[in-house]
């Protein structure tokens, strides 16, 4: 499982010109799965995301988690291209990305577990999405569990 975590001031996702998910301050997550991922992987990743200390404390030091900051939310967007392999040639291979039928189950479970702790907005799995965000910092961190 790979997750790109971006600390944002705002983020939204559109499908066919309609906004389907939108947040103000919080995390914008790009989420990808591989065949080794399962519910246990997801629980560990959610724990890592929620405890990631990348928000400033009263001294301006990144020492607070998203759960420590009032009114923060998460925008979660599925992105199988996180498993792109470009080691051979110029056309990426996505063989390591989990197939859609299985990935959607894990993606839904991931968002369900996250929503037990914080408000979560999402894109639409498998749709052609337009993602807009204002990265705060910029803070962008790649998390991986295999």
Domains annotated for the chain, with CATH where assigned, are 2-144 (3.50.80.10)
pLDDT at 116: 98
pLDDT, tens digit, 9 for 90 and up, residues 25-54: 999 999 999 999 999 999 999 999 999 999
pLDDT at 38: 96
User: What distance in Å separates the CA atoms of residue 145 and residue 143, rounded to the nearest whole number?
Assistant: 7
Per-residue pLDDT at 20 exceeds 80: yes
- Mean pLDDT across the stretch 12-16? 97
Catalytic residue annotation: 79-81
With b for 16 or more beta-carbon neighbours within 10 A and e for fewer, the 54-82 pattern comes to bbeeeeeeeebebeeeeebbbbbbbbbeb
Whether residue 12 has pLDDT greater than 80: yes
Prediction pTM value: 0.94
C-alpha–C-alpha distance, residues 91 and 111, integer Å: 31
Question: Residue 146 pLDDT more than 90?
Answer: no
How many Å apart are CA 76 and CA 45, to the nearest integer? Answer: 13
The whole-number pLDDT of residue 145 equals 85
pLDDT of 2 strictly over 90: yes
Among residues 134, 118, 21, 17, the alpha carbon closest in space to that of 78 is found at: 21
Q: What is the pLDDT of residues 68-123, one digit of tens each?
A: 999 999 999 999 999 999 999 899 999 999 999 999 999 999 999 999 999 999 99
For position 18, what pLDDT does the model report? 97
């Amino acid at each position: 499982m790979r997750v790109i975590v971006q600390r944002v001031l705002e983020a939204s996702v559109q499908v066919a010109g309609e906004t389907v998910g939108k947040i103000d301050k919080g995390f914008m997550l790009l989420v990808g799965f591989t065949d080794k991922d399962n519910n246990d992987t997801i629980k560990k990743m959610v724990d890592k995301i929620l405890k990631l200390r990348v928000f400033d404390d009263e001294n301006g030091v990144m020492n607070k988690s998203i759960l420590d900051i009032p009114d923060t939310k998460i925008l979660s967007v599925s992105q199988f291209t996180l498993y792109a392999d470009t080691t051979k040639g110029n056309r990426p291979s996505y063989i390591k990305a989990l197939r859609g039928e299985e990935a959607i189950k894990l993606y839904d479970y991931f968002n369900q577990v996250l929503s037990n702790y914080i408000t979560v907005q999402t894109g639409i799995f498998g749709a052609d999405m337009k993602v807009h965000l204002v990265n705060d910092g910029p803070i962008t961190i790649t998390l991986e569990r295999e």
